[in-house]
Amino acid sequence: MNALRNSVQLIGNLGNDPEIVNLESGTKLAKFTIATSDSYKNAQGEKVEDTQWHNIVAWGKTAEIAENFLVKGKQVAVEGKLMHRSYETKEGEKRYFTEIRCNELLMLGK
């Protein structure tokens, strides 16, 4: 059960092409967003679609795969770990950020 403590699995569509960062150490980082959608009927019987956006980061070989094969609109399955971090803006405001650190990436669709 230890493997399930902090595990996230999502299937969604890329919002943009991945942003690739090449670090001085030679490590590659890919950042991208995916959208997941659910639909339901509200109290009036109308269909409502709820779309959630998720920030994804991938490192190393997974980042290289993202760089070479992922494009905006592509459907992917992502498995990873939920990460929370914070930073301070130039104005001194504290901001909080949630992202998924991608361990596995599977390209779906055509």
Query: Which structural domain, as residue segments, surrounds residue 12?
Result: 2-107
Nearest to 102 by CA among 44, 74, 61: 61
pLDDT for 47-75, tens place per residue? Answer: 999 999 999 999 999 999 999 999 999 99
Residue 2 predicted with pLDDT over 70: no
Report the domain count for the chain. 1
Enter the pTM of the model: 0.85
- Token pair for 7: 């595990």
For residue 53, the Cα-to-chain-centroid distance in whole angstroms is: 8
pLDDT of residue 10: 96
Convert the pLDDT of each residue in 6-44 to its tens digit: 999 999 999 999 999 999 999 999 999 999 999 999 899
The count of C-alpha atoms lying within 13 angstroms of the C-alpha of 10, restricted to the half-sphere facing its C-beta, is: 26
CATH code of the domain in which 8 resides? 2.40.50.140
